[in-house]
Amino acid sequence: MPQDLGKTSLGLDPKMVAVMGYSVGWVTGIVFYLLESENKYVRFHAAQSMVVFGVFNILIYLPFVGLLVGAAGVVVWILLMVKAYQGVYYKLPFAGDMAEKYK
């Protein structure tokens, strides 16, 4: 049974806004975190996007691990968008805990 995710202050479907928060990594995470003032589901995913892809953005420039981090980043990006569209509060270790504090 689908979970009621409430309404967004943007007037859009919360699942779609959560997916859009991941679409361009930490940049859209910041945008939707600032634009969405009411919906905790959207704010959680936007905050998690900021944390996860902010860290990936830094790690990708490290010698010897950049390619591995880039590949992992793509897999995590797809996973998070799918889970957001499914209406799931999918928490990654560390990043999800941080996002919980700011939703």
Q: What is the pLDDT of residues 11-48, one digit of tens each?
A: 999 999 999 999 999 999 999 999 999 999 999 999 99
Q: What is the pLDDT of residue 2?
A: 54
Calculate mean pLDDT across residues 66-95.
94
| pLDDT score of 102 | 85
Mean pLDDT on 62-81? 93
Is 6 among the domain residues? Answer: no
Nearest to 41 by CA among 8, 10, 12: 8
The C-alpha atoms of residue 26 and residue 103 are separated, in whole angstroms, by 15
Q: Which domain holds residue 53?
A: 14-98
Decide if 11 contacts 93 (C-beta within 8 A). Answer: no
Tokens read off for 7: 């309404």
d(CA 61, CA 14): 33
- Quote the number of domains for the chain: 1
Of all residues in the chain, the percent with pLDDT exceeding 90 is 84
